[in-house]
């Protein structure tokens, strides 16, 4: 297989890529150490591309602190937009295919039908806006790109909703969780598998794709499933979004349609509950 380089290797998805690459015996993949992997340092980026001459570049690096982004607009934009420009430019110059991770937060979430890739993106948070800006600047610098929008990412690695619920579920008698936001949890191991399948297939069907697990749920029902499947005896109370105010506004409905990625890659995507069971068994 051709050389693959990964930015953001120490984050949740980066760790999942390491796990899946090992499972699939993919050895020609470089998980860049932090000192080499700053996507805002163009000098270091040029050195990385010159050294590895990668066929594929996977960008898992992002500013993902959704609420903090409302106050840190400049740094969020630098990482999510300028970082994407830097990588896209180098990918274009070196003939490298870019695999870039984006988010369901590019949508306002005011509808009630699963979102397709061509639906209008109108973000309602700084995080969503800067991630959309990152998507929009890539095609100006390279035509060889896959942008994967994903949602509600969790795994046995790093900090995420599942691990937070397990921690609080052990410490508290009651958990109050939002029930009026609908979406789909995504097991980051499954997303990592999709990314590596794109690369292994050598597909040239470039463009934007949606990837999450199958099905839909609310944060409340997701939490209930976590507690039920892990035998955590905690009382779970549904609350409305306005009862848990946050600095950034979240999409009320961000269920994504995965038809495009499934048909293009002949991909079978697990239901979110089945993947949750798998994650909990590993935890």
Cite the beta strand spans of the chain per DSSP E.
4-7, 29-31, 56-59, 97-103, 145-150, 153-154, 174-178, 182-183, 186-187, 207-210, 217-218, 235-239
Average pLDDT over residues 32-57: 95
Residue 235 lies in a domain: no
157-184 pLDDT, tens digit each? 999 999 999 999 999 999 999 999 999 9
Contacts 24+ apart (CB under 8 A), 17-21: 17/58, 17/60, 17/192, 17/195, 17/196, 19/157, 19/189, 19/192, 20/189, 20/192, 20/193, 20/196, 21/192, 21/196
Average pLDDT over residues 31-37: 89
Residue 238 lies in a domain: no
Residue 164 lies in a domain: no
Report how far Cα 181 is from the mean position of its chain's Cα atoms: 18
Residue 174 lies in a domain: no
177-222 pLDDT, tens digit each? 999 999 999 999 999 999 999 999 999 999 999 999 999 999 999 9
Residue 120: DSSP 8-state: P
Name the 3-class secondary structure at 235: strand
Q: Residue 90's domain is classified under what CATH number? A: 3.40.50.720
Geometric angle at alpha carbon 140, from 137 and 142, rounded to 5°: 105
8: left (phi over 0), alpha (psi -120 to 50) or beta: left
115-132 pLDDT, tens digit each? 999 999 999 999 999 999
Residue 168 lies in a domain: no
- Count the domains in the chain: 1
Residue 148 lies in a domain: yes
Name the 3-class secondary structure at 244: coil
For residue 1, what pLDDT is reported?
62
Residue 73 lies in a domain: yes
User: Which of 115, 117, 114, 85 minimizes the C-alpha distance to 100?
Assistant: 85
pLDDT interval class at 2 (50, 70, 90): confident
Residue 154 lies in a domain: yes
pLDDT at 9 over 80: yes
Domain that residue 55 falls in: 4-159+186-213+255-271
First-to-last alpha carbon distance for the chain, in angstroms, is: 31
Between CA 26 and CA 133 the distance in angstroms is 32
pTM: 0.97
Task: Enumerate the active-site residues.
Answer: 127
pLDDT at 68 over 70: yes
Geometric angle at alpha carbon 134, from 129 and 137, rounded to 5°: 120
């Amino acid at each position: 297989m051709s050389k693959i380089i990964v930015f953001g290797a120490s984050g949740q998805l980066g760790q999942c890529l390491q796990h899946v690459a090992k499972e699939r015996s993919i050895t020609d993949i470089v998980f860049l150490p932090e000192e080499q992997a700053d996507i805002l340092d163009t000098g270091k980026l040029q050195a990385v591309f010159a050294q590895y001459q990668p066929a594929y570049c996977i960008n898992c690096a992002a500013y993902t602190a959704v609420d903090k982004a409302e106050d840190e607009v400049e740094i969020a934009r630098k990482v999510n937009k300028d970082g994407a420009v830097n990588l896209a430019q180098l990918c274009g110059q070196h003939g490298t295919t870019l695999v870039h991770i984006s988010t369901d937060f590019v949508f306002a979430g005011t509808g009630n039908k699963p979102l397709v890739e061509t639906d209008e993106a109108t973000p309602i948070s700084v995080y969503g806006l800067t991630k959309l800006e990152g998507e929009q600047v890539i095609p100006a610098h390279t035509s060889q790109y896959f942008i994967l929008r994903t949602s509600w990412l969790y795994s046995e690695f790093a900090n995420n909703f599942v691990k937070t619920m397990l921690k609080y579920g052990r410490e508290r008698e009651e958990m109050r969780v939002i029930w009026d936001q609908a979406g789909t949890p995504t097991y980051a191991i499954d997303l990592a598998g999709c990314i590596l399948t794109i690369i292994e297939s050598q597909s040239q069907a470039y463009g934007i794709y949606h990837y999450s697990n199958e099905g839909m749920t609310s944060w409340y029902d997701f939490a209930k499933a976590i507690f039920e499947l892990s035998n955590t005896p905690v009382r779970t109370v549904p609350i409305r979004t306005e009862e848990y105010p946050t600095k950034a506004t979240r999409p009320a409905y961000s269920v994504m349609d995965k038809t495009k990625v499934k048909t293009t890659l002949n991909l079978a995507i697990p239901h979110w509950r089945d993947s949750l069971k798998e994650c909990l068994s590993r935890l």
